[in-house]
Structure 1
Amino acid sequence: MSVYGYARVSTKDQNLDAQLEALKAAGCSKILQEKISGKNREDRPALEKALSALKAGDVLIVLRLDRLARSSRDLLNIVDQISKAGASFKSIKDTWCDTTTAHGRLIMTVLAGLAEFERELLIARTSDGRERALDNGVAFGRKPKLTHHQRQEAIKRRASGETIVSIAKSYNVHHSMISRLVG
């Protein structure tokens, strides 16, 4: 079993010392650190390295949740990735967020359930809104590059023997669009 620590500050001017000290005191044998914004998870190589290193029985510790995730959805995704590796997660300052205990796992399960419920409500509201818009005549999708008249004209020009490429150039569209027109 390994105990990993993860420390992050957002700017080069900030200092990691307090986080590193707290993680060492918590028993972290390996600490991954970075000075980078938490905005994009994909752009955080030390976090990805820590997550990919986790094995069954390992623990990942952070000083505070905001060092790990920027939103509850991001936090739940990261904790899910940790649990799929068979590892646990712990926040030093946010003691309720500790999947090494039954109480902490319960709290995280409830939060994950709430997030899933919220997501399903969002999907239902979006679907209802889309149906209302369709009923009111709102057209979805990209605006057509050619009007109905231009399509009919292009079909006639193609039937009269004009090349697809020259027709496409005259309408400033790709030749594949003209070749898909059906007369």
Structure 2
Amino acid sequence: MKIGYARVSTVGQDLESQENLLMEYGCERIFVEKVTGTSTAQRKALQDLFDKIREGDEVYVTKIDRLARSIIDLNKIVSDLNEMGVSVYFIKDNLEFQAGDEGNSMQRLMFNVLGSFAQFERDLIVERTTEGRERAKAQGKHLGRKGKAEKDVKKAIRLYKERDQNGMSVTDISKLTGVPRSTIYVKVKEYKE
């Protein structure tokens, strides 16, 4: 059976182009997920793929960096699949690793070079993000979510105190005011103290 695997790192990214390419290659089942490729720990679809594949199956991935961004993880995943009797194909990288075949040395080299670039690219992203965060902090900029307006918080607290009369739950108050439930609880505790 031909099985596809598609992954993007963030919720805002689109899986459609990967899924379309995998379908063009005849994949009967496609496992998809939106999660970082730096670790395999949170990768439920990848684990599901491992649980469902059988000897003789073929796994198709659009590009090496979609499978993992760590050279160690890449090698382990492909080795584990090959040991299970499953062949792995990277469509855009034009690489294939057949079960029971050591492959040729040039393919193995290209696989490791491309995998190293994927890891390098990820490391650069992390480095730049950290530098940007540090620069913003040094300039006194607030990072993270923007806080709710004080008037909204006061309205939420007032509604919370009057909930016996208005019959509203904390969830109702949160939806009405836009103030997160956790903020309501924190502010109510602060006002009590």
TM over 0.5: yes
Equivalent AA in structure 2 for residue 98 of structure 1: E
Matched residues in 1 for 2:18 and 2:102: separation? 22
Matched residues in 1 for 2:41 and 2:84: separation? 19
Matched residues in 2 for 1:60 and 1:66: separation? 15
Matched residues in 1 for 2:106 and 2:78: separation? 9
Matched residues in 2 for 1:108 and 1:74: separation? 20
- The two structures have a TM-score, normalised by structure 1, of 0.55
1:62 aligns with 2:31: no
* SS state at 1:43 partner: coil
Q: For this pair of structures, how many residues does the alignment match?
A: 112
After superposition, where does 1:116-131 map in structure 2 within 5 Å? none
Moved over 6 A (4+): 101-104
Q: Which has the larger radius of gyration?
A: 1
Cα distance change, pair 33–105 in 1 and its aligned pair in 2 (3 A): same
After superposition, where does 1:83-98 map in structure 2 within 5 Å? 83-95=82-94, 97-98=95-96
CA deviations 1:64-89 (Å, max 9, x no partner) are 00000112221110011101111100
Q: Aligned match of 2:97 in 85, 96, 99?
A: 99
CA deviations 1:49-104 (Å, max 9, x no partner) are 11222211101110000000112221110011101111100000011x20139998
Matched residues in 1 for 2:58 and 2:5: separation? 11
Is contact 2:82-2:100 (8 Å) kept?
no
Matched residues in 1 for 2:57 and 2:91: separation? 16
In structure 2, the partner of 1:118 is: none
In structure 2, the partner of 1:21 is: 20
In structure 2, the partner of 1:41 is: 40
Cα distance change, pair 87–25 in 1 and its aligned pair in 2 (3 A): same
User: What stretches of structure 1 of length at least 5 have no aligned partner?
Assistant: 115-183
CA deviations 1:115-165 (Å, max 9, x no partner) are xxxxxxxxxxxxxxxxxxxxxxxxxxxxxxxxxxxxxxxxxxxxxxxxxxx
Matched residues in 2 for 1:75 and 1:18: separation? 22
Is contact 1:99-1:108 (8 Å) kept?
no
Matched residues in 1 for 2:35 and 2:89: separation? 21
* SS state at 1:38 partner: coil
Identity %: 36
Equivalent AA in structure 2 for residue 106 of structure 1: N
Matched residues in 2 for 1:102 and 1:94: separation? 21
1:71 aligns with 2:70: yes
* SS state at 1:8 partner: strand
Equivalent AA in structure 1 for residue 96 of structure 2: D
Cα distance change, pair 108–53 in 1 and its aligned pair in 2 (3 A): farther
